[in-house]
Amino acid sequence: MTGSASLRIGIAQINPLLGDLEGNADKILKAWTHFEDQADLIVFPEMVTCGYPPEDLVLKPVFLSEIEQQVDTLVACSAQLKSAAVISTPWMIKGQRYNVILLISQGKIVATVPKYELPNYGVFDEQRLFVPGPLPVPIEFRGVKLGLMTCEDMWFDRVAGHLKKNGAEILIVPNGSPFSKHHLSRRLLQARRRVEETGLPLVYVNQVGGQDELVFDGTSFALNVRGEKIYQGASFVEALDILEPKVWDSAGDSLSVLSEAHLPASGPEDIYRALMLGLRDYVGKNGFPGVILGLSGGIDSALSAVIAADALGPERVRCVMMPSRYTSQESLDDAVAVATRLGTRLDDISIENPFGAFDTLLAPYFDEKTPAITYENIQPRLRGLILMALSNATGSMVLSTGNKSEMAVGYATLYGDMCGGFNVLKDLYKTEVYALSCWRNAHIPAGSRAGGVLDVIPENVLAKAPTAELKNNQTDQDTLPPYSELDAILEGLIEHEKGVEELVAAGYGRETVLRIWKMLDRAEYKRRQAPPGVKITSRAFGRDRRYPITNHFLNIIEKA
């Protein structure tokens, strides 16, 4: 076994608050001192000093200057500590910005290792913020040659290979790797490839916590020289763990993940817990006392309310039923049932009077040619107005409740049901909303604050046809294909960038595919005005998928 077997390594999987530089330094120091006399080396996640991703904050000299001051404090404190720390941070070197790893030990910065591979895709824009460093070389620490590399460096073979060539004995990887449905298995695949190529053990330490639309799941791990997982950290919670020297010789799980074609997706519990953590941290880190949402009696608002209660506790969730002349008694009963089972507050505020007042107010300006949707959309906009008034009165954040299918095709009302500060279902297709609701009825997610309640969503909510109830006898399928078909087409168009012919070859009707593509294209202006929400797929709406609003490309496709 290599010299790495002599090191006791502390895993500091913590949840930094972006921009709270002093608070993050305090958290780092508390974790560091927790490991004193237990570990030789403590490894923290990527950009732990400031939180990740800092985006354009790193362009402000005062931000970088304050980071340097906090690092100076940590360096000074380290003089009294026996252990050393691997701390990732933005850092200035000769007037250039880098994403670096600092090895801090006994009052000194022993080594500075810049990140070599800067991601520039999806939600990552590091190439516009940082300069890539040179290929790193191992750093000797207490007789062990450490191969330090940051996150994206692990996803390609060049950095690990260079470290091995220059004598590294262990690979140590601080990460800021956000959750998505397939990302957990992809991480493990890439880590095992680096171990297989180099014959070196690997320690992977990931950030945990929600940061705007991103959720960092933690799930830190370590692999021995055979690529077996000999340590698996907790997911979606902070964790301080020790890797004892003897662990490297123990047997772990087998090398079962072999190719990207066979990567398993995350299960419903991981997805659900990601949604919980994303909402909990967005509310908590931004100082909201709670959330307010419209509870219609439908599946989307029901699941949103349940996730909110699980994440925050029912006492911090206020539901509001806002019926109109088109709201059925069934919907009223279902909304009451959900709120009762959860133990949340439920207010009943009818929009019938203001709806009638608007009808009278606008009657001189409308005629028989006025589209029916004009009247329909007044209703969700009145509901949005009520929710925002309650938000202003209480300080609680409005939680919007639309799903990815609706946002994709524009089946949502600007300044109406799209109104809100955050949308926990934003990256869930409608079929996934149903599946996750069924899962939640049968399971209590780890970390739930809702009191251990099962069967929270009534069977009738799951079974009835989805409807906006903006006119009589309305269902979603009046204007949309069945959600099973719609979601499959949307996933092809959004996540996989498939063209019309590919989807037609897969068995979908050409006219249906073209219609869905056109709806997707024309709804871009709405999505630009939608609230943020938890990202769980490889292509969430927002920075993952950047399409122009003014776009006539589809006209060419239709004529082909």
Burial environment of residue 401 by CB neighbours within 10 A (0 to 12, 13 to 18, 19 or more): buried
CA 79 distance to own-chain centroid: 37
21-41 b/e (C-beta count within 10 Å ≥ 16 → b): beebbebbbebbeebeeebbb
Going by DSSP bridges, is the β-strand pair 221-223/202-206 parallel, antiparallel, or unpaired? antiparallel
Amino acid in the structure at residue 175: N
Residue 424: name the closest of 409, 439, 411, 436 by CA.
436
Cα 496 from Cα 180, distance rounded (Å): 15
Number of Cβ within 10 Å of residue 351's Cβ equals: 21
58-91 b/e (C-beta count within 10 Å ≥ 16 → b): beeeebbebbbebbeebbebbeebebbbbbbbbb
Q: Give 76-117 as a 3 state SS string.
A: HHHCCCCCEEEEEEEEEECCEEEEEEEEEECCEEEEEEECCC
DSSP strand E in 219-365: where?
Answer: 221-223, 229-232, 239-243, 291-294, 317-321, 345-348
Number of Cβ within 10 Å of residue 197's Cβ equals: 12
115 is a catalytic site residue? yes
> What DSSP state is assigned to residue 20?
-
Q: Where do we find the tokens 């500060």?
A: 421
> What DSSP state is assigned to residue 315?
G
CA dihedral (358, 359, 360, 365) positive or negative: positive
Radius of gyration of the chain (CA): 26
Cis peptide bond N-terminal to 53, omega within 30: yes
82 is a catalytic site residue? no
Residues 295, 458 contacting (CB under 8 angstroms) = no
Residues 236, 209 contacting (CB under 8 angstroms) = no
Burial environment of residue 369 by CB neighbours within 10 A (0 to 12, 13 to 18, 19 or more): exposed
Choosing from 50, 151, 319, 419, which is the catalytic residue? 151
Choosing from 27, 46, 152, 319, which is the catalytic residue? 46
Cα 270 from Cα 280, distance rounded (Å): 15
Choosing from 115, 164, 426, 430, which is the catalytic residue? 115
In degrees and rounded to multiples of 5, residue 293 shows phi and psi of -145, 155
- For residue 526, the cross-strand partners are none
126 is a catalytic site residue? no
- For residue 317, the cross-strand partners are 291
Residues 6+ apart with CB under 8 A from 325: 352, 355
Q: Which residues are catalytic?
A: 46, 115, 151
